[in-house]
Chain A
Amino acid sequence: MAQFEDQRTTVYKIDPEHPESETLPTLRTEELLLNMGPQHPSTHGVLKVILELEGERLVKSTPVMGFLHRGVEKLAEEGTYHQFIPHTDRLDYVCAMYNNFAYCRAVEKLMNITVPDRAEYLRTIVAEIQRIIGHQFWLGTQALDIGAMTVFFYCFRDREILLDWFDELCGARLTTSWYRIGGVERDFTPSLFAKLKQFLDYFPPKIDEYVIFLEKNRIWLARTKGVAVISAEDALSFGLSGPTLRGSGVDFDLRKYEPYSAYPKCEFSVPVGKNGDTYDRYWIRVQELYESVKIIRQCLEQIQDGPVMADVPSVTLPPKERVFTNLESMIQQFKLFSQGFNAPPGEIYCGTEAHKGELGFYIVSTGGGKPYRLKIRAPSFIHMGAFDHMSKGYMISDAVTIFGTYDIVMGECDR
Chain B
Amino acid sequence: MSQLAKRIEDTFPGACTKVVEWRGDLAVTVKPETLHDVARFLRDDPAMRFDYIVHVSSVDWPDDEERFEVVYEVYSIRMRQRVRLKTRVPESDCIVDSLTDIWKGADFMEREVYDMMGIRFRNHPDLRRILMPDEYEEGYPLRKDFPLRGKGWRDTFEFLDEPTR
Contacts and interface: CB of A to CB of B under 8 A. Distances in A.
Query: Which of A71, A257, A349, A372 counts the most chain B CB atoms within 10 A?
Result: A349
Given A74-B148, A362-B71, A233 B130 contact: no
Interface stretch (A94-102, A138-146, A168-176, A236-244): A236-244
26 contacts: A65-B130, A73-B116, A236-B51, A236-B52, A236-B77, A237-B51, A237-B52, A237-B53, A239-B105, A240-B105, A250-B77, A346-B22, A348-B23, A348-B25, A349-B73, A362-B55, A373-B60, A373-B142, A377-B55, A381-B112, A385-B104, A385-B105, A385-B108, A386-B104, A386-B105, A389-B104
Interface string A102-129: 0000000110100000000000000000
A173 B77 CA distance: 36
Query: Which of B73, B105, B112 counts the most chain A CB atoms within 10 A?
Result: B105
Contacts of B129: 66
Contacts of B53: 237-239
Interface string A376-404: 01000110111001000000000000000
Contacts of B54: 239, 349, 351, 358, 360, 377
B108 A384 contact: yes
A252 B73 CA distance: 16
Interface of A: 65-66, 69, 71, 73-75, 78, 109-110, 112, 233-234, 236-241, 250, 252, 257-258, 346-349, 351, 358, 360, 362, 364, 372-373, 375, 377, 381-382, 384-386, 389, 414-415
Contacts of B109: 239, 382, 385
A112 B23 contact: yes
Query: Which of B27, B73, B132 counts the most chain A CB atoms within 10 A?
Result: B73
A233 B104 CA distance: 11
Contacts of B95: none
Given A362-B73, A382-B109, 7 more contacts: A73-B116, A74-B141, A237-B53, A238-B104, A250-B77, A349-B54, A414-B131
A74 B25 contact: no
A367 to B, nearest CB: 14
A66 B51 CA distance: 28
Given A237-B104, A382-B108, A346 B130 contact: no
Nearest to B111: A385
A414 B20 CA distance: 31
B107 interface: yes
Interface string B27-62: 100000000000000000000000111110101100
Contacts of A351: 54
B133 A66 contact: yes
B67 interface: no
Contacts of A360: 54-55
A66 B80 CA distance: 33
